[in-house]
Amino acid sequence: MAVATEMMDKLKILAEGAKYDVSCSSSGSFRRNKDGIGNAASCGICHTWTSDGRCVSLLKVLMTNSCIFDCAYCVNRRSNDVQRVLLTPAEVAELTIGFYRRNYIEGLFLSTGVVRSPDYTMELLIEAVRTLREQYRFNGYIHLKLVPGADPLLVQQAGLLADRVSVNLELPTREGLALLAPDKSRDAVIGPMRQVNSLITINRAERKESRKVARFAPAGQSTQLIVGATKETDRQIVTLSEQLYQRMELKRVYYSAFIPVVADTRLPALPNSPLRREHRLYQADWLLRYYGFSAQELLDEERPNLETDLDPKTGWALRHLELFPVEINGADYEVLLRIPGIGVRSAQRIVRARRQGHLSMDDLAKLGVVLKRARYFITARGRYAGECAIDSTLLRSRLLETPAKKGAAQLELPFSRPQASDEAISLISGEL
């Protein structure tokens, strides 16, 4: 596709401004192109997952990197001396449809800085999406960012045009927001979230009455939190996420390890971004959404932060050894999910396979259960294969001796978990 030089220049500048936004699933890669095809680090196309597990490529673009706000952590803040550009709504629509027709993308992830006012910016975003939907009759996936402080009427219009909407919470507490993003108020972020949640609920009920009612944000809403720029504990973050899932029915909370991209005395001076912490939070988040854990079970006042050397499920199991070993042939599905090393898919396979007869350790291995960790917490036909006493210190040292294979903590998707909802499943997770 021949993209005009002027447009190409704009896109390069906007890609720089967008690359720290993790609210879609393929961000955060640092692999660069060395004499090969593609470039994971330079942005442009990201991916998300539909309810049936299909991977969808999205054009990820900022409408503008201009911003009237001055968030301390943001490369696009008004006090930062960078070149500013703005795509017009017509340009966003034209670009998207051009990429779509050439089969480069299946949808659009549209974000923005705040130009002139939240309402003005929201109107630009809506116009771009409306042009795509009405003029180009585009029915592909659209994820649209909501601008904090925008008029509720505009939020409603956005939800009627986009599949998913998101408004970024950015910092977990009111105090954190006041310190680092003084132009944004917590209410300006939570307000649209609440409104979207309520409109989705109303829309669901109306569509039960009549299928002719237009769908409102059918892929739900998500948000993003920056981790490590302020002093919140993991307990505060995980508890907040739990509340967002339970009270606002959010589809996803994305965690973004703070990366110092601009100098500001309000920001912590970090030698490295806490990526391990981000990873542990994603694991804890997965436990909340798919494994039946509560925030309170994972973290409490005495232990406000997740362990860095052990995943949160193994940490929980070592603190509850009175519940182990679990006999694999008799345990409920919910109990199987609590065994370290047994993820959603393994638990489903065990439940299915044991209908045919009692399973042995060998059977479990054949089913693909990762016995390296699980063997310390289970018996199969009464046999324990941990080869050591079930003692917290001993097990901890054994488990730390056997680090997971490179990449083993990465994704396994529970495409067909029991009572599957219509939720889009995202990449950043792990079978725990």
Contacts to ligand SF4 by CB under 6 A = 67, 69, 71, 74, 76-77, 113-114, 181
Min separation Cβ 113 and ligand SF4, Å: 4
Nearer to ligand SF4, 59 or 177 (CB): 177
Distance from C-alpha of 325 to C-alpha of 203, rounded to nearest angstrom: 46
Nearer to ligand SF4, 69 or 255 (CB): 69
Nearer to ligand SF4, 75 or 339 (CB): 75
Min separation Cβ 192 and ligand SF4, Å: 14
3-class SS at 332? coil
Burial 343-372 (b: 16+ CB within 10 A, else e): bbbbbbbbeeebeeeebebebbeebebbbb
Judged by phi (left if over 0) then psi (alpha if -120 to 50, else beta), residue 94 lies in alpha
Distances (CA, A) of 69 to 60, 82, 171: 22, 14, 15
Nearer to ligand SF4, 149 or 340 (CB): 149
Nearer to ligand SF4, 182 or 418 (CB): 182
Min separation Cβ 144 and ligand SF4, Å: 15
Min separation Cβ 69 and ligand SF4, Å: 4
Nearer to ligand SF4, 125 or 306 (CB): 125
Min separation Cβ 14 and ligand SF4, Å: 12
Nearer to ligand SF4, 59 or 62 (CB): 62
Nearer to ligand SF4, 71 or 425 (CB): 71
The answer to whether 13 and 85 are in contact (CB under 8 A) is yes
**In sequence order, what E strands does 332-424 have?**
378-380, 383-384
- Can you list the alpha helix ranges (DSSP code H) found in 102-225? 118-130, 152-161, 174-180, 186-209
Min separation Cβ 247 and ligand SF4, Å: 24
Stretch (H or E) spanning 424: none
3-class SS at 420? coil
Determine the distance from the C-alpha atom of residue 278 to the mean position of all C-alpha atoms in its chain, rounded to a whole number. Answer: 11
Min separation Cβ 57 and ligand SF4, Å: 24
Antiparallel, parallel or unpaired: β 383-384 and 378-380: antiparallel
Distances (CA, A) of 218 to 25, 65, 128, 408: 18, 28, 19, 32
- The sign one gets for the Cα dihedral 201, 206, 211, 212 is negative
Stretch (H or E) spanning 171: none
411, with CB counted inside 10 A (0-12, 13-18, 19+), is: middle
Distance from C-alpha of 56 to C-alpha of 139, rounded to nearest angstrom: 13
Min separation Cβ 45 and ligand SF4, Å: 21
Nearer to ligand SF4, 256 or 429 (CB): 256
Nearer to ligand SF4, 18 or 364 (CB): 18
Min separation Cβ 189 and ligand SF4, Å: 10
Residue that the structure tokens 């002027």 belong to: 6
Min separation Cβ 170 and ligand SF4, Å: 7
